[in-house]
Amino acid sequence: MKNVINIKGRKDIIKDSNSGAILSTNVKALNEYKQKIEEQEKIDKLEHRTNLIENEISEVKQMIRVLLNRGN
């Protein structure tokens, strides 16, 4: 970045003089955030798969009940 202003007393943020945006320069925090997002996406996918499996098991159980009732 070319047009940045250091903020007095802060080494973790800068100000873009063109847009006025305050930007973090804390790469460690950014990487931790990205890892947290990635982990949450994995959890969400696993929860979705678990729900699909539970639904399929329920369907199989219902089919078994129907077959058992036909035998009576």
What's the confidence (pLDDT) of residue 23?
93
Give the number of residues written for the chain: 72
Q: What is the mean pLDDT of residues 10-28?
A: 92
What's the confidence (pLDDT) of residue 56?
98
Q: What is the mean pLDDT of residues 2-8?
A: 86
- What is the total count of domains within the chain? 1
Domain span at 56: 4-71
What's the confidence (pLDDT) of residue 35?
98
Question: What string of H, E and C letters represents the secondary structure of 12-71?
Answer: CEEEECCCCCEEECCHHHHHHHHHHHHHHHHHHHHHHHHHHHHHHHHHHHHHHHHHHHHH
* Per-residue model confidence as pLDDT tens digits over 20-71: 999 999 999 999 999 999 999 999 999 999 999 999 999 999 999 999 999 7
